[in-house]
Amino acid sequence: ALISLRQMLDHAAEYGYGVPAFNVNNLEQMRAIMEAADKMDAPVIVQASAGARKYAGAPFLRHLILAAIEEFPHIPVCMHQDHGTSPAVCQRSIQLGFSSVMMDGSLREDGKTPADWDYNVAVTQRTVDMAHACGVSVEGELGCLGSLETGTAGEEDGIGAEGVLDHSQLLTDPEEAAQFVTLTQVDALAIAIGTSHGAYKFSRPPSGDILAIERIKEIHRRIPNTHLVMHGSSSVPQEWLKVINEFGGDIPETYGVPVEEIVEGIKHGVRKVNIDTDLRLASTGAMRRAMAQNPREFDPRKFLKVSTDAMRDICIARYEAFGSAGQA
């Protein structure tokens, strides 16, 4: 059944678990997520970015998610729009039947220029007015995602601030978060706590304190009724990097957010954990290997099947680690 983000995360908060929010662009990702959720009896958040809409087309994406709900009627599904760049974009998603939207007013409409406070509050307020009137939840964002190691957003294309950010932009301020939530009434808030989008988060193996856990605790203490969201939460599995590079890929050394650190965040109010890159890496690795090992094969379904299975296994591991398994 389709449910709102608020409904899903209120339950997660009550029972102390986190829900991975996987990005979806195509049938194989959708199947991987739903097969994993079905196996683990976990609630599902599927999110579509502007890039996903460009790739699949809005009607195909919408029907892909509706098909998932039809095939797995016993699994609660939240259909979320990732990184909306304006109230108009959010309005279109509401019209399409999404049960949750993100208004990312931390950046201007170009998705690159850091926005000021007044702009963020104004566009988020407008979105909440519209969405709540339709029973749709809203996620806002305060602070700019970026690595504390490099001060940059990390992504070459897609959503992310351009240039080098200063330390205060990279960590969401708890007092500002409280004020922002009071003014906008968002259901969930994405916070900057040291993560960044994409595969290139950290250049050295993480040694414990990658996330600003103290900051998460402070924010959660100030706004205990607002569900915290962690973007850029891929763990960048080293075993998949190895497979990719062993079978013709060329990905430089890089590290993501350790699952144990995400689990620590979940203990302190993080309820939605955004993951895209990990499924991309698993899919690419599985396909590269299958193609290299089966040079005579030309039925794409064979390659897409191993890709789906690899993505499904990542989803299963995250449902288990975040405590969402058994909560559907």
By CB under 6 A, is residue 198 in contact with ligand 13P?
yes
In the bound complex, what is the minimum distance in angstroms from residue 135's beta carbon to ligand 13P? 23
In the bound complex, what is the minimum distance in angstroms from residue 155's beta carbon to ligand G3H? 7
| The one among 45, 262, 276, 306 contacting ligand 13P by CB under 6 A | 276
By CB under 5 A, is residue 82 in contact with Na ion?
yes
Binding mask 211-250 for Zn ion (x = CB under 5 A): --------------------x-------------------
HEC profile of the chain: CECCHHHHHHHHHHHCCCEEEEECCCHHHHHHHHHHHHHHCCCEEEEECHHHHHHHCHHHHHHHHHHHHHHCCCCCEEEEEEEECCHHHHHHHHHHCCCEEEECCCECCCCCCECCHHHHHHHHHHHHHHHHHCCCEEEEEECCCCCCCCCCCCCCCCCCCCCCCCHHHHECCHHHHHHHHHHHCCCEEEECECCCCCCCCECCCCCCCCCCHHHHHHHHHHCCCCEEEECCCCCCCHHHHHHHHHCCCCCCCCECCCHHHHHHHHCCCEEEEEECHHHHHHHHHHHHHHHHHCCCCCCHHHHHHHHHHHHHHHHHHHHHHHCCCCCC
225 annotated as a binding-site residue: no
Angle value at C-alpha 27, between 26 and 31, nearest 5 degrees: 125
194 annotated as a binding-site residue: no
Binding mask 53-82 for ligand 13P (x = CB under 6 A): -----------------------------x
| The one among 276, 303, 319, 321 contacting ligand G3H by CB under 6 A | 276
**Token pair of 144, please?**
């700019």
Which residues share a beta bridge with 191?
142
Residues 230 and 205: their CA atoms lie apart, in Å, by 20
Binding mask 5-44 for Zn ion (x = CB under 5 A): ----------------------------------------
| The one among 4, 19, 21, 49 contacting ligand G3H by CB under 6 A | 49
234 annotated as a binding-site residue: yes
Q: How many residues bind Na ion (CB under 5 A)?
A: 2
Binding mask 259-298 for Zn ion (x = CB under 5 A): ---------------x------------------------
Which residue stretch of 8-16, 108-116, 131-139, 275-283 sits at the interface with ligand 13P (rule: CB under 6 A)? 275-283
Catalytic residue, candidates 10, 38, 41, 82:
82
By CB under 6 A, is residue 158 in contact with ligand G3H?
yes
| The one among 102, 148, 171, 236 contacting Na ion by CB under 5 A | 102
By CB under 6 A, is residue 197 in contact with ligand G3H?
yes
Nearest one of 149, 148, 140, 144 to 162, comparing CA atoms: 144
Residues 66 and 59: their CA atoms lie apart, in Å, by 10
By CB under 6 A, is residue 197 in contact with ligand 13P?
yes
Q: Among residue numbers 222 through 241, which ones bind ligand 13P (CB under 6 A)?
A: 231-234
Annotated binding site for Zn(2+): 83, 104, 141, 197, 231
Give the binding site for ligand G3H (CB under 6 A). 23, 49, 51-52, 82-83, 158-159, 197, 276
Q: Which residues are catalytic?
A: 82
